[in-house]
């Protein structure tokens, strides 16, 4: 176990820490600097020594650390070894058999004793996180450098909080990573979504008519926050995973004002309780989808105490358009949980969630196929497994496919095997942050079976981009641009930008006449997208489509990835893109705190 200070010392010695002495504002400035840094390769962990809030006239007495999971190398440092090594250890345990013979039994003992480490250890007395104690009457959340990360955010948000809750009967404790909006000096909005364990506990307290205890820890060993987002089964305390990875138990102390146990080395602890009958509007918030989450009512935490170390460090993150810190946290989760996923899908070879698909929007999976329909069986299995049930788009390839992270090669492999008959469109639950479905929490899902042999037919008459644009504008002058990708494959992708003045479904009716020139047509809004930026196009398309409404299979595959509105019969509010504040960027550039050009801004959709 290592404290946050010890981790920062390690990172500095390794040349992976960047210290910023100049005062930076908790409103936009710190988040914008971190947002840009993590998009570089390699990127560094950032330590802001002198955070300020100019609007409130506050100079904080604690630094802010950002981008703790800065890249693959730093993330591997935090795990202590490669995630694939941890995965192999899990796989070995899953396949353990009763030993035969004395030597075999003796060789098994170290493994069995090591399992003791998974169980958190409760420590008597107070921990480092309780060196300073402020009671309810002394609490002032303005003393913490809580960030406002995006211009349209509803206020400042705690973004790297370890949220500890327990079931009504006290038998289960949960660690989740949920954002918390600061309403005032003593109240926080609790953004636990309906599918999360904390929300299930909340329902228990509401039914019993009791106030729910909650404790939020910030800082400490950075592995805690990764454990908080790990997709463990309901009822399993996430800090058991900490013990397995660290090979030593997490050391916990009891909160001062409730019965929840938290890591003794946390930097800051916020204790409180939630009245199940009180809800308050939370948001908007620039979220990890790259869109703003809209205003919705959520429970409120009344703070009963704040405790901290004598020299605490405040940890935060910024989410928005990829790539971001969650890319590397997600990489660790993806690799470590592969053996557990194989227990449900034993013919799974590998899987990968590209960060441009913001994880739950796109999964690539490689499998051993044994019979017709095997891939479709896998699709249903994936959509029925824990966090995988939120995945919107799943593409399956067989063992002959390239490595799933070789994007050009695996895309070519897939495009040579796609046909309308190999698309499965169905309906299921979607993430609460999904905005594309006609209604919240339920939406369309797309499965693509690319495990079979290459298809035989291709485009009958391939036109170049200029000629195709001329033909399309003859059909609809609102088509403003054309860019074709992978024209050497059986299924070239044609992306068009469209100045939308009518439903794209009506445009599809007219474009059907071009069946001899097209195999896959994707439509995006002209105003927001660059046809020459495939990374951000994948982000846009996977975010913006509901498969049941936006994909047409005949006479060729057509995809409507435009923003939806009344033209499409869309009745929900469509959220805006997360965009940087231009004045803030200019100020940071003048002060030498960031160094970006127009190409960088366009590549990552900053403005």
- Judged by phi (left if over 0) then psi (alpha if -120 to 50, else beta), residue 104 lies in alpha
Residue 25, CA distances (Å) to 47, 83, 149 in order: 13, 35, 10
Q: Which residues pair with 521 in a beta bridge?
A: 494, 558
Residue 8 dihedral angles phi and psi, to the nearest 5°: -65, -35
d(CA 406, CA 293): 32
What crossing angle do the helices spanning 72-79 and 83-94 adopt, rounded to 10°? 40
d(CA 538, CA 559): 12
Report yes or no: 268 and 134 within 8 Å, Cβ to Cβ: no
- Judged by phi (left if over 0) then psi (alpha if -120 to 50, else beta), residue 231 lies in beta
**Catalytic: 287?**
yes
d(CA 278, CA 496): 47
Residue 427 dihedral angles phi and psi, to the nearest 5°: -130, 150
- Print burial letters for 531-565: b (CB count within 10 Å at least 16), e (below 16): bebbbbbbbbbbbbbbbebbbbeeebbbbbbbbbe
Report yes or no: 266 and 220 within 8 Å, Cβ to Cβ: yes
Q: Which residue reads 């989808």 in tokens?
A: 289
For 156, the token pair is: 């400042």
- Judged by phi (left if over 0) then psi (alpha if -120 to 50, else beta), residue 452 lies in beta
For 345, the token pair is: 């899908």
Which residue of the set 287, 449, 546, 560 is catalytic? 287
Q: Pick from 210, 295, 290, 217: which is nearest to 251 by CA?
A: 217
Q: Pick from 31, 313, 300: which is nearest to 156 by CA?
A: 31
d(CA 124, CA 232): 28
d(CA 76, CA 69): 9
For 151, the token pair is: 């211009």
d(CA 564, CA 574): 7
Q: How many Å is the maximal CA-CA distance in the chain?
A: 82
Cβ neighbours of residue 103 closer than 8 Å, sequence gap 6 or more: none
Catalytic residue set: 287
């Amino acid at each position: 176990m290592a404290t946050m200070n010890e981790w920062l010392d390690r990172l500095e010695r390794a040349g992976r820490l960047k210290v910023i002495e100049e005062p930076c504002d908790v409103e936009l400035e710190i988040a914008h600097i971190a947002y840009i840094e993590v998009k570089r390769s390699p990127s560094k962990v950032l330590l802001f020594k002198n955070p300020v809030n100019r609007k409130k006239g506050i100079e904080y007495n604690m630094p802010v650390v950002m981008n703790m999971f800065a890249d693959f190398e730093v993330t591997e440092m935090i795990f202590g070894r490669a995630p694939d090594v941890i995965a192999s250890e899990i796989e070995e345990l899953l396949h353990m058999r009763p030993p035969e013979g004395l030597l075999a039994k003796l060789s098994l003992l170290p493994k069995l004793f090591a399992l003791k480490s998974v169980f958190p250890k409760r420590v008597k007395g107070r921990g480092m996180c309780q060196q300073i104690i402020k009671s309810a009457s002394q609490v002032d959340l303005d003393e913490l450098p809580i960030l406002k990360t995006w211009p349209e955010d509803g206020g400042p948000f705690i973004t790297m909080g370890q949220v500890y809750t327990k079931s009504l009967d006290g038998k289960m404790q949960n660690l989740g990573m949920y954002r918390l909006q600061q309403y005032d000096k003593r109240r926080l909005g609790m953004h636990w979504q309906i599918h999360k364990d904390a929300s299930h506990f909340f329902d228990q307290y509401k039914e019993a008519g009791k106030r729910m205890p909650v404790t939020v820890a910030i800082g400490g060993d950075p592995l805690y926050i990764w454990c908080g987002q790990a997709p463990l089964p309901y009822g399993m305390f996430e800090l058991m995973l900490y013990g397995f990875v660290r090979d030593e138990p997490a050391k916990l102390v009891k909160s001062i004002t409730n019965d929840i146990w938290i890591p003794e080395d946390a930097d800051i602890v916020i204790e409180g309780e939630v009245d199940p009958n009180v809800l308050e509007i939370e948001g908007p918030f620039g979220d990890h989808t790259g869109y703003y989450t809209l205003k919705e009512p959520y429970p409120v935490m009344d703070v009963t105490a704040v405790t901290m170390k004598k020299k605490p460090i405040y940890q935060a993150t910024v989410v928005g358009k990829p790539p971001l810190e969650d890319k590397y946290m997600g990489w660790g989760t993806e690799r470590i949980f592969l053996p557990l996923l194989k227990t449900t899908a034993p013919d799974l070879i590998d899987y990968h969630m590209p960060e441009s698909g913001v994880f739950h929007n796109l999964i690539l999976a490689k499998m051993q196929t044994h019979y017709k329909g095997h891939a479709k069986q896998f699709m249903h299995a994936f959509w029925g497994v824990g966090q995988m049930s939120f995945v919107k788009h799943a593409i399956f390839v067989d063992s002959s496919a390239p490595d799933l992270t070789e994007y050009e090669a695996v895309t070519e492999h897939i495009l040579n095997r796609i046909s309308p008959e190999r698309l499965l469109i169905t309906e299921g639950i979607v993430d609460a942050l999904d905005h594309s479905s006609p209604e919240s929490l339920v939406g369309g899902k797309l499965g693509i079976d690319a495990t079979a042999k290459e298809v035989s037919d291709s485009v009958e008459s391939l036109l170049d981009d200029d000629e195709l644009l001329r033909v399309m504008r003859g059909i609809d002058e609102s088509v403003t641009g054309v860019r074709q990708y992978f024209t050497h494959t059986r299924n070239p992708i044609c992306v068009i930008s469209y100045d939308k003045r009518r439903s794209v479904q009506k445009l599809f009716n007219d474009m059907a006449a071009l069946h001899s020139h097209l195999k896959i047509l994707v439509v995006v809004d002209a105003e927001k997208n660059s046809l020459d930026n495939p990374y951000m196009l994948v982000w846009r398309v996977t975010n913006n489509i509901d498969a049941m409404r936006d994909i047409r299979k005949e006479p060729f595959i057509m995809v409507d990835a435009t923003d939806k509105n009344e033209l499409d019969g869309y009745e929900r509010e469509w959220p805006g893109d997360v965009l940087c504040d231009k004045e803030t960027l200019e100020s940071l550039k003048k002060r030498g705190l960031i160094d970006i050009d127009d190409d960088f801004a366009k590549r990552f959709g900053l403005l």
